């Protein structure tokens, strides 16, 4: 079975500051890891995915995430926050079955 834990339900950053969203996973098999973003009244959009290739994964909109097996982590970062980054972010994991298991989400607000 696979699961993820997102640390912090809400993150507030200033425009131009670093965005860091934390995700730890648990998996009995080598995991596939994903970050999705959800804007108000919309579905989920894939930011990036890790599928056992490079441990540093670059995604859309300037986001990237690093897979650290020793820490069972897959934290999401963006060097400089933009107002348009305000949204809810979900970390998800899948393994040897067909379902995605999502974290509870982290809401990001960006201060001008």
Please give the residues from 52 up to 81 whose contact with another protein meets the rule CB under 8 A: none
Question: Which residues, in sequence order, are bridge partners of residue 106?
Answer: 89
**C-beta of 14 vs 55, nearer to another protein:** 55
**C-beta of 34 vs 63, nearer to another protein:** 34
**Which of 45, 55, 80, 109 touches another protein (CB under 8 A)?**
45
* Alpha-carbon gap, residue 103 to 36, rounded angstroms: 10
Stretch that binds another protein, among 14-22, 45-53, 67-75, 79-87 (CB under 8 A): 45-53
**Which of 41, 56, 70, 84 touches another protein (CB under 8 A)?**
41
- The two tokens of residue 102 are 């999502």
Beta pairing, strands 10-14 & 106-111? parallel
Cα angle 30, 79, 109 (rounded to 5 degrees) comes to 90
- The two tokens of residue 77 are 């970062």
Site residues (vs another protein, CB under 8 A): 31-32, 34, 36, 41-46, 49, 51, 90, 92, 94-105
């Amino acid at each position: 079975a696979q699961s993820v834990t997102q640390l912090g339900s809400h993150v507030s950053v200033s425009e131009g500051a670093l965005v860091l969203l934390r995700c730890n996973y648990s998996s009995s098999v080598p995991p596939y890891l994903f970050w999705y973003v959800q804007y108000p009244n919309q579905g989920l959009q894939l930011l990036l995915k890790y599928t056992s290739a490079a441990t540093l994964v670059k995604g859309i909109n300037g986001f990237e995430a690093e897979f650290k097996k020793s820490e069972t982590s897959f934290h999401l970062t963006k060097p400089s926050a933009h107002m348009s980054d305000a949204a809810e972010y979900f970390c998800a994991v899948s393994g040897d079955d067909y379902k995605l298991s999502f974290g509870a989400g982290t809401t990001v607000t960006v201060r001008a």
